[in-house]
Amino acid sequence: MKRNYVLEPLGEMKAMYQAYHEEIVELSRKNGEIVLLYGDFPRGAAGELFQKEHPDRIYDVGIAEANLITTAAGLAGGGYLPFTHCHSIFAVGRAYNQIRQNVAFDKLNVKIVLCNSGMLWPFMGGSHQIIEEIAAMRVIPNLVLVSPSDPASTKKVTRAIAEHVGPVALRISNPAVPTVYRDDFPFELGKAVTLIDGGDAAIISTGMVLADALEATDMLAKEGIKVRLLDMHTIKPIDAEAITKAARETGAIVTVEDSSIIGGLGGAVAEIVAENAPVPMKRVGIKDRFGQSGTIPELKEEYELTARHIAQAVRESVKKK
Amino acid sequence: MTHDEKLIQRLAEKAKIIRRDAVEMIWAGELGWIGGSFSQADIIAALMFHQMKHDPKNPDWEDRDRLIVSKAHCCETVYAALGESGYFSKELYKSYGKMGATLQAHTERIVPGIEYSGGSLGQGLSFALGEALAARIDAQKDSSGHPIPRYRVYCIIGDGESNEGQIWEAVMAALHYKVDNLVAILDHNKFQSSGTVEERMNMMPWVDKWKAFNWDTVEIDGHDFEAILTALENADKVKGKPHIIIAHTTKCKGVPSFEHKNLHFCKLSDEMYAEALEALK
């Protein structure tokens, strides 16, 4: 199947957090409003460079996520463009009301970087792997939720959300991931990217599992199943048009995420499909369980997130057509 | 330090007006927070009608001083002070708390002059900290290289509200960053929603707590304009640390028969409405 905008073979392995920070340093050289806030969170080499270049625009409030988010809201009230950094589980889990009340309620221009997002964080275990963030964030009015899939899309997303005036939550996974996209791929907030244009079923993926979804399309192509692959990098506002079109034109939808399917991307897509173009669906993602320690391959296997599991979900959904 | 008697009289008159207008709002809205709104009224009058640099004709003036009322349910005297200052027409008071009203039951930033949308307690001091930090970025520097903040931030917090852990997160961070353009004022009216502060969550000793966090700490009578003005002026002089003014206040101050009762969130009866207006003539 012809692939659009995809590097072949896949490119450099890099942590999305590093790609994000490199882009922030670039942006901060032209945009004097960018301020960075951390909750006792490592900055990496690029973050240290920001500290050197803009020592009066970087803060660490210690292990205090509530204060982290609300202080950022105050800085936005004062005319600046704050980016906050802490583990996603503690931003979403401990500072939920601050994100809702102090940031989203007033549409303040705060960017909440959900670091170590999702289930695919090796070693740390269930206390740290967040399964709830997509469900919890997308229900908040005014808040944009983005979920890039690789280092290249992370950079484009970072630039786009810095330009977008208003509150944004940005999912950033922990592990180094392969670069999927060529640099020239078109990116627009709220518009899904079509990587493959098949007609038998559609995989709608978000976040770092995109590479696994790509691998699944290869497995299926060998069986003659032509799969459309959409990267839903913006979960809110969701690209309802692309989802509806995919449902109508392929007749079977599979969602893929490293987050709970309850209210996650699976839930979001199901809402659109059920209302606009009901077709068989399968949701690949975390099925109402907490996480645990393990390597990324072990976690993908245990939580059924491998290319093999994605391909099987496609076969099952196609059978139901 | 003593202040001009005319100034004190003028502020006392303004405080009476904003309490009276707050009564009208609570009457129109058929509900309201008269207790905490009245305990903070003299502090708000001193800030809005004397201490703060602000411009009702230009509410978004970048270098205005900020007032963050963290106990944002006590919105009526805040709205009244803004209306009296000329930020908006007092006509808006009539729709207070009603469907579609600009003046919602907790302060919201959509209202000209309101800096902070509250309602979830314990968060305003963090927001004030962020605003105060913003005042130091892109600011001129003094001869020793310290930024000269472009504006000051005043934040009124409640004693019951101080149960919230986030207050103390902000206290810690404000000292860490030596945010000396941040002045917190504790409206210590000794009551919280369902009882006295002492019986719900005794946080004594208040002064020692703030001193232990190394804030510039002062304790005053929050209904004594001389004391309020002096404390606010002294806060400008102490550099390198944030300031807390622990203001002893009386819930419902201004209507003697209501004072020392925990009228936290209430509807005014016909008799109470008449009594309040009579006391505030």
ipTM for the complex shown: 0.96
Q: Which of B238, B236, B247 is nearest to B216 (CA)?
A: B238
Instruction: Indicate the pLDDT class of residue B1, thresholds 50, 70 and 90.
Output: low
CATH class, range A10-181: alpha beta
pLDDT 10s digits, B168-210? 999 999 999 999 999 999 999 999 999 999 999 999 999 999 9
A-chain residue closest to B164, CA distance: A66
Given an 8 Å threshold on Cβ–Cβ distance, is A101 in contact with B117?
A: yes
The one-letter code for the residue type at B108 is: E
**How long, in residues, is chain B?**
281
pLDDT given for residue A58 in this prediction: 97
A-chain residue closest to B135, CA distance: A78
List all residues 6 or more positions away from A158 whose beta carbon is below 8 Å from its beta carbon. Answer: A19, A20, A23, A24, A27, A170
Residue pair A208/A256 in contact (Cβ under 8 Å)? The answer is no
Given an 8 Å threshold on Cβ–Cβ distance, is B135 in contact with A78?
A: yes
Residue pair A151/A19 in contact (Cβ under 8 Å)? The answer is yes
pLDDT, mean of residues B125-142: 97
Q: Tell me how far apart the alpha carbons of residues B112 and B132 are, in angstroms, rounded to a whole number.
A: 20
- Identify the three-state secondary structure at position A269: helix
Interface of B with A in 46-65 (CB under 8 A): 62
Token reading at A242: 């692309």
Q: Which of B184, B155, B73, B160 is nearest to B118 (CA)?
A: B73
Furthest C-alpha separation in chain A = 59
B117, B136, B173: residue with CB nearest A71: B173
pLDDT 10s digits, B261-281? 888 899 999 999 999 999 999
Domains of chain A, by residue range, sit at 10-181, 193-319
Name the minimum distance, in Å, from the CA of B109 to any CA of chain A: 7
Name the minimum distance, in Å, from the CA of B134 to any CA of chain A: 5
Given an 8 Å threshold on Cβ–Cβ distance, is A74 in contact with B129?
A: yes
Judging by DSSP bridges, how do beta strands A144-146 and A168-172 pair with one another? parallel
From residue A278, give the alpha-carbon distance in Å to each of A198, A252, B154.
19, 9, 55
Judging by DSSP bridges, how do beta strands A234-236 and A144-146 pair with one another? antiparallel
Name the minimum distance, in Å, from the CA of B166 to any CA of chain A: 6
- Identify the three-state secondary structure at position B173: helix
pLDDT at B2 over 70: yes
Q: Which of A254, A228, A265 is nearest to A310 (CA)?
A: A254
Given an 8 Å threshold on Cβ–Cβ distance, is B176 in contact with A62?
A: yes
pTM for the model: 0.97
H-assigned helices in B51-152: 76-85, 124-134
List all residues 6 or more positions away from B256 whose beta carbon is below 8 Å from its beta carbon. Answer: B279
Q: Count CA atoms closer than 13 A to A92's CA, side-chain side.
A: 29
From residue A47, give the alpha-carbon distance in Å to each of A56, A87, A93, A156, A311.
13, 16, 25, 18, 39
Which residue of A50, A71, A110 to mutate against B (max B Cβ within 10 Å)? Answer: A71
pLDDT tens digits, chain A, 321 residues: what are they?
A: 799 999 999 999 999 999 999 999 999 999 999 999 999 999 989 889 999 999 999 999 999 999 999 999 999 999 999 999 999 999 999 999 999 999 999 999 999 999 999 999 999 999 999 999 999 999 999 999 999 999 999 999 999 999 999 999 999 999 999 999 999 999 999 999 999 999 999 999 999 999 999 999 999 999 999 999 999 999 999 999 999 999 999 999 999 999 999 999 999 999 999 999 999 999 999 999 999 999 999 999 999 999 999 999 999 999 999
Domains of chain B, by residue range, sit at 5-279
- Identify the three-state secondary structure at position A133: helix
Q: Tell me how far apart the alpha carbons of residues B227 and B235 are, in angstroms, rounded to a whole number.
A: 12
Chain A contact present for B120, CB below 8 A: yes
Residue pair B232/B47 in contact (Cβ under 8 Å)? The answer is yes
Say what percent of chain B tops pLDDT 70.
100
Token reading at A208: 């770092």
Say what percent of chain B tops pLDDT 90.
96
Q: Which of A107, A250, A92, A68 is nearest to A171 (CA)?
A: A92
Q: Tell me how far apart the alpha carbons of residues A11 and A245 are, in angstroms, rounded to a whole number.
A: 30
* Topology given in CATH for the domain delimited by B5-279: Rossmann fold (3.40.50)
Residue B27 sits at φ, ψ, to 5 deg, of -65, -45
B62, B122, B129: residue with CB nearest A79: B62
Interface of B with A in 154-193 (CB under 8 A): 165-166, 169-170, 172-173, 176-177
Write the burial class of residue A301 (CB in 10 Å: 0-12 exposed, 13-18 middle, 19+ buried): middle
Which residue of A33, A60, A65, A67 to mutate against B (max B Cβ within 10 Å)? Answer: A67
Q: Which of A80, A67, A74, A76 is nearest to A39 (CA)?
A: A67
Token reading at A126: 């269930």
Q: Which of B159, B87, B152 is nearest to B122 (CA)?
A: B159
Which residue of B127, B171, B172 to mutate against A (max A Cβ within 10 Å)? Answer: B127
* Topology given in CATH for the domain delimited by A193-319: Rossmann fold (3.40.50)
pLDDT at B120 over 80: yes
Write the burial class of residue A124 (CB in 10 Å: 0-12 exposed, 13-18 middle, 19+ buried): middle
Residues of chain A found within 8 Å of residue B172, distances taken between Cβ atoms: 62, 64, 67
pLDDT, mean of residues B110-114: 97
Those residues of chain A whose CB sits closer than 8 Å to some CB in chain B are 32, 35, 56-57, 59, 61-62, 64, 66-67, 70-80, 82, 97-98, 101-102, 105-106
Q: What strand order describes the sheet that includes A193-197?
A: A193-197, A227-231, A201-205, A253-260, A281-286
pLDDT at B145 over 90: no
Q: Tell me how far apart the alpha carbons of residues B182 and A184 are, in angstroms, rounded to a whole number.
A: 47
Token reading at B29: 């809205």
pLDDT given for residue B260 in this prediction: 80
pLDDT 10s digits, B204-256? 999 999 999 999 999 999 999 999 999 999 999 999 999 999 999 999 999 99
Residue pair A3/A195 in contact (Cβ under 8 Å)? The answer is yes
Residue pair A307/A216 in contact (Cβ under 8 Å)? The answer is yes
